[in-house]
Amino acid sequence: MSITKHIEQAIAELTMVGEKIKERFYVQPDSNDIAKLHRQYHNVKKLIGQLEEIKTELLPPDDNADLPLPRLPDEDYFINSRKDMGDKAYGVLEVDSRFKVLAGSYIALSVVDNMYDIVKRLRTEYSLFISDANILTKDLVFDNPGQAARFVTGKQVTGTEEWKTPDGVSLREYSAKEKIKSSEVVSSEYVFKKPKKISLFNKLHEVSSWRDVLIIVCDSVYERHPSIVLNLPNDNRMNSKRRATFAFERLGIKVKPVRLSCGIWVEANQSAATTMSICHKLLSICGYNKGTLEIEIQ
C-alpha cells in the first residue's frame, strides 16, 4: 500500500473517531467531561488537517505542465522585488496573519548559511514545487510574512519591510493604516448605540443588546465551523495574556461569563466596539469578510 493510501485510511479512521466524540457530546451535554471532549474533538480535527496537507504535498506537480504565471488577486497583494533576485515574488496577507506566496513567484536559488532551520526545512520540503527555472508551481502558505520573505529571498530579511504593495508601500505601513481605518469605522458607527437586528449568513435575528449580538454570532459560526469555535479558548488571536475572552471553564472568564451552545464560555460584558471587533475577527478567521454581518441600530 502506498504512503498516500495509508494517509487516506488514517484520515477515514480519525473522521470516525471525531464523529463518536460528537455523539458523546450530544448524549451528555452537561457532563463534567465536556471540556475534555472539546479538546479531543479539536485535536482529532487538527490531525486530519495535518494529514490532508501531507497528502497534498506528496502529490508532485505535472512535469509537462506549463509554468504558471502569477494570478494576481482582486484584493491587495504584495511584491518582493529585491535587486539581487532574478525576478519578482508575489504574495497575499491571509486573514490570520499568515502569508501566501503565489504560484509563478521567483524563488532565489541559494540560502544563506545562517538561515533559520525551519526555513531550510521548508525549502527542502517544498522543493517539489520549485521548477528548474526557480519558479514556484503552487501557492504556498507560511506562518507569517517574515518566514515567507526568507523562503523567497534565501536571506535573513524582515517580512514587513520586504513585502510592498505595487505602489511601494511596505507591509508594515499598510497594516498600520488598515488597523487605524478599521478601528475608526467601528468606533464611530456603533459606540453609544443599541443594536436592533442583525443579519448573518442571510438569516435575520432580533437583538436587544451587544451581548445578544456576540452570543448569536458565536453560536451561528459554531454551526458552520465547530472545530474553530471549540478551539477559541486556545486561540491567542482571540484572547489576551491578561484577560481571556473565551474559556473552557466558567472560572476562566473574569467578568459575566456566558456559556455558549457548544459548551465553552465567553465574556459577554463587552462594549459595542469590542463586541464588533471580536465578531469581525472570528468571521475573518473562518474566511468571511466583515460584510457577512450586518447590524441594524435602534
Q: Side chain identity at 84, as an amino acid letter?
A: D
**Inter-residue contact 222 to 229 (CB < 8 Å):** yes
User: Count of CB atoms within 10 A of residue 262's CB?
Assistant: 18
- H-helix or E-strand spanning residue 226: helix 226-230
- Tell me which range, 65-74, 109-118, 233-242, is most confidently predicted by mean pLDDT: 109-118
Q: Is the pLDDT of residue 119 over 80?
A: yes
Q: What pTM value is reported for the model? A: 0.43
Measured distance CA(39)–CA(42) in Å, rounded: 5
**Per mean pLDDT, which range of 7-16, 36-45, 173-182 is the poorest?**
173-182
Query: Is 3.30.110.30 the CATH classification of the domain at 191-297?
Result: no
Q: Tell me the per-residue pLDDT of 234-259, one tens digit each, with 9 for 90 and over.
A: 988 888 777 789 999 998 898 889 99
Per DSSP bridges, beta strands 246-247 and 203-206 are unpaired
Triad 256, 261, 267: Cα angle to 5°:
20
User: Sign of the CA dihedral 257, 263, 264, 266?
Assistant: negative
Report domain extents, the chain: 3-58, 78-173, 191-297
**Inter-residue contact 18 to 41 (CB < 8 Å):** yes
- All cell numbers assigned to 166: 505595487
